[in-house]
Structure 1
Amino acid sequence: MREETGYDICIIKLLNEEEEKYSYIAKIIGRNLHLDTANEANQDIIEVAWGDVNDTGKFDSVTASMLNLYLAEWGGKEEQWMMQKKDG
């Protein structure tokens, strides 16, 4: 599956569903960071970039709430999941 940032991803789990918008926990499996501005679904995206999760001043309220949900539910377990996938 291709994510709006240009990455090919493997969805691990649905994190949140609200007003027909879905947020997932996913693993990057290929491609490079890129914003496809020709895709009509991406018209509300201003920029895609890697950032430090501790730099909270850079997150809008929606992104901050998704990050908080992720940390509350997943917080470090992604490493365990990756090891299980690698071993299994």
Structure 2
Amino acid sequence: MFEAPSRWNPERNLWLEVLYRTVEDATKGPRHVPKPADKALIMREARDYLTRPSRDLAMVCALAGVDMGAVIDHIGRKLAGGRSAAPR
């Protein structure tokens, strides 16, 4: 029987979207949160989630088909670069 390529795997795509949204929350803030204090809290929580190993992140990464260590390393470098480039 015909087997679809892995990029067409709806379950994997769902978990990739979960990671993508969390990265957006960590880097740009959540889309539809009106209060700045709430937005800052969500950004901080997303950054913590993506830069510290946890069982939950390991599960999400496994289901998305990506390496948790690579995600933590990449996001950590991205956030560190973003902080140093920000005006004071």
Range class of TM-score, shorter chain:
0.3 to 0.5
TM-score after normalising by structure 1: 0.32
Of Structure 1 and Structure 2, the greater strand share is in: 1
Of Structure 1 and Structure 2, the greater helix share is in: 2
